[in-house]
Structures are given as structure tokens and as C-alpha cells.
Amino acid sequence: MKKIIFLVTLIILMSGCSYKEINELAIANSIGIDYIDDKYVISAQVMDLTKSQKDNSTEENTILYIGSGDSIPDAIRDITLKYPNTLYLGHLELMIVGKGMLEEGIDKTFDYFMRSPEARNDSLLIVSDEFDAKEILNPNKESKESFPTKDIITTIENSMERNGSIEKVTFEDFVSNYLKKGMDPILPIIELSKSPTKDYKNNTIKKMALFRDKKYLGSIDSDVMIVYNTLKNNYSDIIIVENYKNSKVSSVLINPSSSYDIKIKDNKPVITFNIKVESQLIDVYEKIDLTKDKNIRELNNLLNNKMKKYVNDFVDFSIENNVDILGIKNKMYKHYKKEYDNYKNKNIYKEAKLDINVDIKLFRYGNANRNSTGGNL
Amino acid sequence: MNKISNTELFTVMISLFTFLFPMIGTFTILKEGNTSSLSVLILGFIFSIIPVLLIMFIGKRCKNKNIFQFNRDNFGLFGYILNFLYFIGIIFIYIVIAWTTLNFTINQLLIRNSYYTIAFIYSTILVIAVCKGKEIICRTSLILYIIFFLSVVISFSLLIPKINLENVLPIISIKPQKIFNLALLIPGYFAYPLVTLLCIKRNDIRNNNKTNKTIALAFIISSFIVFMFYFFIISTYGIELASLYVFPEYNLFKEIDVLDFIQRVENIMASTFFISAFSGVCMIIYFLKLYFKDLFKMKNKVKINATTFVIAIIVPFLSIYLFSNYNLQFLMEKYSIFSSIILITLIINFIFIKIKRVNKN
């Protein structure tokens, strides 16, 4: 009997904490952080549960909650004062930093989200250098998607997997890269194209933002990002278009198995880029006889040369902007700590000898054995 | 009276060796040790051998008596002083562990709840086990150990894909002198709580001739568990992020994600901390219970249990009062220095035994 009384007492006492019904919560999927007129503005996109129930439809609808304050938690509290439901950040999937916040300093967004036990740190982080986050999160009335968060996340994933110009970065990854020695962090940039006549907008994510010494420097070209993602083996397939015999030839790069490293040889750093990718021909406009070994070799060389050009552009970009997005210096710190001290304030790409090895193998030709204009395959 | 087995005791030892790490040890070491934390840990385990050997040595002499009776009977007034010093050391550990456990529970799990309510519930559960005696503590510990072991193995297996070995480098990132100084702190978290085992008479343990071997085995297994936690924390997060967190082990569990299906299991896994701390804290309360029982020569079971309940409740309440009203955060950082009172007492006790030539019987 004593045991039963004890168990019943435990059930009553330990039934949960700060209990709230789900319809009393405003479950935020994404959050926008802006800094406008010396105030922090938080916009939270939440699921409109009441509307879905009323309409008896399965479609997800969203509401945008906006609050402002002298600090991020103050702005979040402002939302709670304006709207009936309690804002819940436990299901956060996306964080957008607006242009004002980018200028004010992205590092000011870190502390609240790192400290708060309720907020998720594994949500994706993106920035906008032209728009406020609240504009981006505002639901699109004419678009088929009424839930911009999912739209944006899918776009980021596709851009990384199929375009090679983007890297998916979580809030936690960014903070970690930000704190690492010898590494300049990057983040995807979201762009907004608005129709001047209709209430229509479209989000595109094609570029990455570059940060150095806690400051936003600018965007990174997609060619540079292709090298970055190839070296990090980040994508599944990306398309490269090249000119061959007055014709456009499209190839897809697949299965990257590249690597990069830094070594000290004769007291001098040597950076090695080993790029290894498979390639498949996917589109040929002119009658090019691909049964000839010479043509295939020429096409393969073209691809290799194009990638080498991209790598050179990548190195030039790193020297010009004095940045290290790959974290070569971080690798140096990890493997050659003593030498790192000599190079920590220098541009490693300028100082080091570069050893670039590009090996793109073109050996797949798709389904067709001839091209549609009559040339042999 | 039922005797306890070495296997049961082994699980209690694992708890005593490990329970202080998730709450204060890891945070302090990672913050100062950088990527050298793993080297600090290895060196610290070597230093921990000294207090463990002292505990083994003294334990062997406590055949028919617990440490309090042993010291009192053999060293008279000095024995009382030694017992008091042990009491001070253990009460300090209890204050620290009570505050950090409550802090963890309220900051991560039961936000916006009263510290006092949680302290009352948690302590009541512990007191029930302690009042039932060491057999119950040990048996419960055995069952909890299986759950602890399973959750640790499952967590580590699921975290393997997240490992980035480069994060562990450079192995030596701080000055050797600092590594040495930090390693000196490790016995405070690792070995000192083991002194509570001295309140169990060796004759109450089955096959007590193997108890020291069990201690050695528990020492090795526990050091491996703690080392693996550090390794996973640093290699998964990188030291920059890992050293930001107050409870890195808890955050480590947040990283578990299998095929986007098994994720957000950190709160289930957090039970590991409570499980690992359960028998450890029970042993601390049991140690304090026996100290008072011996000091005031208590015979009445009801009085003993009431005293146990009061101690178990008062200490967490006191820790809440002290930490919330006075700036005592320095106690956390200087934990190992304050807790070294246990090492000093062990050394004095060892010297007394050697001088008086108290043999194993």
C-alpha cells in the first residue's frame, strides 16, 4: 500500500513542468533577426494551427509574429506581449539574419541562442545583405508555397547538392567556425525578387556571404564556391558548361572524392589540392563525333582545365580578400602548431607553395548513343 | 545481514568515479585545457592512483569496523579529528554536487520550477534508498548500471559518424606546466568521492579479498568511460564550441541523429547523468549517516533515519541558499583545491596507521 501511495504521489508531482497545450504555443519554424533604427526586430514564422482546423484542410498556413526591443530576448518577449500564444523555439529550423543585423555585427545574435535551453542550435543559418529578414519571412500570397521556411530550406539543400554554389551551414557550425583559429566563416545569402505589380516574391539562394574579423566582407562568386564544395565533397552533381568546337557541351560532375592538406617542407608550407571527380556528358549541341578517342580526350582536358581555372580563381580570391574559407590555416594550427604562429597573420595562399592536382574522368555518356542532331556518340 | 557482492560494489564505484564529471569536471577542464584536455585527463588518472591506493590501503584495515569506528578506536581524539575532516570533505562534495545537479535539472529540463521543490523530491528518493541500507543502494546501483551502460554504448555508437578526428588536434595546445596543473585537479573529480567506500566494513562484502581488485577494475573502466566522453565531446564539437557549454555531455547527446529519424534524444539520454549520480550521491549520504550515527552513538533506527533525512534535505537546501545568495561560483572553479582536504586526511590517516602499525586484522 505504501508503495502505491508513493507511486501515486510521484505521478502527481512529476507529471511535467510548465505544461502547456499545443494550441497555446506558437511553434516557430523560422526566425528572422533584424536591427532597424537601433532596435532588434525579431520576426517569427509560426504555424497557424487554428486556421487549419477551421478550414479542415491539410495545407499548412503560417503567421508572422513581429516584436522589437533593445536586445534579442527583449524583442522575443515583445512578441509574447503582442500575441496570445507563447513563442516556442524548440522546433526552429531556420534563422535569417537581415541586412541591418549583418551591418551591426552577426556575432551579437550568438549569445541568446547558445545560452537558451529552449532554442535549437542546429537550425540552418542564412543572411540577407539587401533585405530585412521580416520581408523574406513574410508569407507569399500568390506563390503555391504558403510556408516559406520549407521553401527556403529545400532551396538551400538543392543549391548545395545540385549547384555547388552553396554550403548548408547550421547556427552551431557557424559559431564553431567563427571561433576556430585560422578560419573565415561563410553563410548562404538569400535574395528576394519582388514583382512590382503583384504581391509576388521569390527567394533565391545562389551566393555565400564571407566574414572576416567579425565583419561581413561581401559575397563569394559561384566559381569559387564550386572549388570549395568540390574540395569538401559537398555536392551530389553539378553542371559545368564549356565551349568545344564552337558548340556548348554540358557535363555533370559527380562523386567528388577530393581532399586538401597542408604540409611543411623545407620550412615552407605546401598546400595540396587533390581534386578527383567523375564526369558525365549530358548535352551536346553540335555534331561532335564522340566515338573518336581524340575528341573525348579533348573534352576531358577541357573539363580539367576549366576546373584548374576555377582553382586558380579560388586562390586569387583568397589572396585578394585575405581570407581562408577552407580553413587551411586551421589545419596548419592542428598539425604544425609552432609554424602556425609564424603564419597566423599572413595570407597562407600567398606564402605557401601550391600543389594542384585535378583529375576529372569523363567516361559516362548517358542513354543516347548519338546526339539528336546526328553526330555519333 | 545480507552481504554485498563485489559486482554490486563495482557499479557503485563506477558511479563514484564518474558522477562529478558531467556536472563540474568536464566544464572546468575543457575551458582551461583546450585540445590538451585529453592529455590532462590521462595524466590526471595517473595522479588519481595515489588517493585510490591510499583508500585501498586504509580499506583493507577496516575489516570489522567502518572508517569512523576504526579511527576512533585506534587513534582516540586524533581519530575524531580525522573523521571530522572526512566529514567536511564529503559534505563539501555533497554541497557542490547538489547545487550542480539541481542547476542542470532546472536549466535544461525543469525550467521555471522551484529549486527547493526539485531538491526535496530528489533528496527524498535518495533518502529512501539510504535508509534501507547499503544493500539496497548496491542492488539499485547494479540495475541502474545496466541502464547507464546501455545508454552510454548506444550513444557512443550513434555518435561515431559525427567524429572528426582533426578536432582533437593539436594534442598539446597549452603549456606543459598548465597541463600538469590541470591534471592535479582530476583526482578531485575522479578519486576523492571513492573515500565514501570506507564506511563499508570489508567483512560486509562477499569475497572481500578481491575488493581491491574490483576497485582497480572500476578505476580502469571509469577512466575509459570519462576519456571516451571527452573524446566524443572534443571530436564532435571541436574544442571552441565544446568549451562554451556548461554541460557539454548533455549537448553531446543533442548531436545524435540517425537518418533524420532518431534525433532530439538528449533528454532521454540525460537520465544517464541521474542514473550515474544516484548511487554516488546515495553513498555520500550513507557516509554522512554513519558519521552521525558513530559520533552520537545512535542506536534507535527511527532516529538514525530521521537524521539521514534531515542531512539529505538540509545540504541541498543549504547549497541553494548559499549559491543563490552569495557569489560562490569560485567554489566550482576551486573545487579540487577545497576537496583536497580528503587527500590530506587520507595521507594523515595512512601515516597514523603506519606509525601505530595497525595491521590488516
Please give, rounded to a whole number of angstroms, the shortest distance from the CA of B240 to a CA of chain A. Answer: 6
Interchain pair B111, A175: CB under 8 A: no
Give mean pLDDT, residues B328-347: 82
pLDDT of B230 over the 60 cut: yes
pLDDT of A2 over the 80 cut: no
Of the listed ranges A59-73, B30-44, B181-195, B343-357, the one predicted with least confidence: A59-73
Please give, rounded to a whole number of angstroms, the shortest distance from the CA of A335 to a CA of chain B. Answer: 6
Residue B101: its pLDDT value, please?
Answer: 86
> Directed axis angle between helix B271-295 and helix B301-325, to 10°?
120
pLDDT of B327 over the 70 cut: no
Residue A330: its pLDDT value, please?
Answer: 92
Please give, rounded to a whole number of angstroms, the shortest distance from the CA of B170 to a CA of chain A. Answer: 5
Which parts of A131-264 fold into alpha helices (H)? Answer: 133-137, 148-158, 171-179, 222-231
Cα separation, B346 vs B352, whole angstroms: 10
List CB contacts (< 8 A) between A114 and chain B. 244
Counting residues of chain A whose pLDDT is more than 70, the rounded percentage is 83
Give mean pLDDT, residues A209-235: 87
Q: Nearest Cβ partner of B169 from A117, A172, A334?
A: A334
| Three cell numbers, residue B316 | 541541498
Residue B215: its pLDDT value, please?
Answer: 92
Output A214 or A197, whichever has higher pLDDT: A214
List CB contacts (< 8 A) between A335 and chain B. 169-170
Number of H helices and E strands in chain A, helices first, is 13, 14
Interface probe with B: pick from A10, A334, A335, most Cβ of B within 10 Å: A334
List CB contacts (< 8 A) between A337 and chain B. 170, 172-173
Q: Confidence class of residue A198 from pLDDT cuts 50, 70 and 90?
A: low
Give mean pLDDT, residues A352-359: 90
Ranked by mean pLDDT, the top range of A56-65, A125-134, B331-340 is: A125-134
Give mean pLDDT, residues A237-250: 82
CA angle A199-A204-A210, nearest 5°? 135
Interchain pair A13, B110: CB under 8 A: no
Q: Confidence class of residue A27 from pLDDT cuts 50, 70 and 90?
A: confident
Give mean pLDDT, residues A349-375: 77
Interchain pair B108, A117: CB under 8 A: yes
Interface probe with A: pick from B30, B169, B241, B252, most Cβ of A within 10 Å: B241
Interchain pair A179, B173: CB under 8 A: no
A57-112 per-position pLDDT tens digit: 555 577 888 999 999 989 988 888 888 777 888 888 889 999 998 888 888 888 88
Interfacial residues of A (vs B; Cβ cutoff 8 Å): 13-14, 17-18, 114, 117-118, 121-122, 172, 175-176, 179-180, 331, 333-335, 337
Residue of B nearest to A171 (CA): B241
Residue A332: its pLDDT value, please?
Answer: 92
Q: Confidence class of residue A56 from pLDDT cuts 50, 70 and 90?
A: low
pLDDT of B331 over the 80 cut: no
**Quick one: DSSP state of residue B168?**
G
| Beta pairing class for B262-263 and A186-194 | unpaired
A47, β-bridge pairs: A62
B131-155 per-position pLDDT tens digit: 888 888 888 888 888 888 888 888 8
Cis peptide leading into B170, omega within 30 of 0?
yes
Q: Nearest Cβ partner of B240 from A18, A118, A180?
A: A180
Interchain pair B238, A180: CB under 8 A: yes
pLDDT of A49 over the 70 cut: no
Of the listed ranges A1-15, B190-204, B206-220, B258-272, the one predicted with least confidence: A1-15
Please give, rounded to a whole number of angstroms, the shortest distance from the CA of B248 to a CA of chain A. Answer: 12
User: Could you report the predicted ipTM of this complex, rounded to two decimals?
Assistant: 0.81
Interface probe with B: pick from A13, A17, A124, A171, most Cβ of B within 10 Å: A17
Please give, rounded to a whole number of angstroms, the shortest distance from the CA of A175 to a CA of chain B. Answer: 7
Q: Confidence class of residue B245 from pLDDT cuts 50, 70 and 90?
A: confident
Q: Confidence class of residue A162 from pLDDT cuts 50, 70 and 90?
A: confident
Residue A368: its pLDDT value, please?
Answer: 65
Cα separation, B83 vs B345, whole angstroms: 9
Interchain pair A331, B166: CB under 8 A: yes
Q: Confidence class of residue A26 from pLDDT cuts 50, 70 and 90?
A: confident
Burial class (CB in 10 A: 0-12, 13-18, 19+), A51: middle
A6-19 per-position pLDDT tens digit: 777 766 666 555 55
| Three cell numbers, residue A108 | 551579437
Give mean pLDDT, residues A125-134: 88
On average, the pLDDT of chain A sits at: 82
pLDDT of B15 over the 70 cut: yes
Interchain pair B169, A114: CB under 8 A: no
Ranked by mean pLDDT, the top range of A159-163, A294-298, B184-188 is: B184-188
Of the listed ranges A346-360, B68-82, B112-126, the one predicted with least confidence: B112-126
Residue of A nearest to B36 (CA): A334
> Directed axis angle between helix B341-356 and helix B37-61, to 10°?
40
Residue of A nearest to B250 (CA): A117
pLDDT of B87 over the 60 cut: yes
pLDDT of A273 over the 60 cut: yes
- Strand, coil or helix: what is A326? coil
Beta carbons of A341 and A269 less than 8 angstroms apart:
no
List CB contacts (< 8 A) between B109 and chain A. 17
Residue B39: its pLDDT value, please?
Answer: 94
Please give, rounded to a whole number of angstroms, the shortest distance from the CA of A179 to a CA of chain B. Answer: 6
On average, the pLDDT of chain B sits at: 87
List CB contacts (< 8 A) between A110 and chain B. none
Give mean pLDDT, residues B185-208: 89
Residue of B nearest to A13 (CA): B121
Residue A10: its pLDDT value, please?
Answer: 65
Residue B55: its pLDDT value, please?
Answer: 92
Cα separation, A120 vs A64, whole angstroms: 19
Give mean pLDDT, residues B218-226: 93
Q: Confidence class of residue B66 from pLDDT cuts 50, 70 and 90?
A: confident
Counting residues of chain A whose pLDDT is more than 90, the rounded percentage is 19
pLDDT of B118 over the 90 cut: no
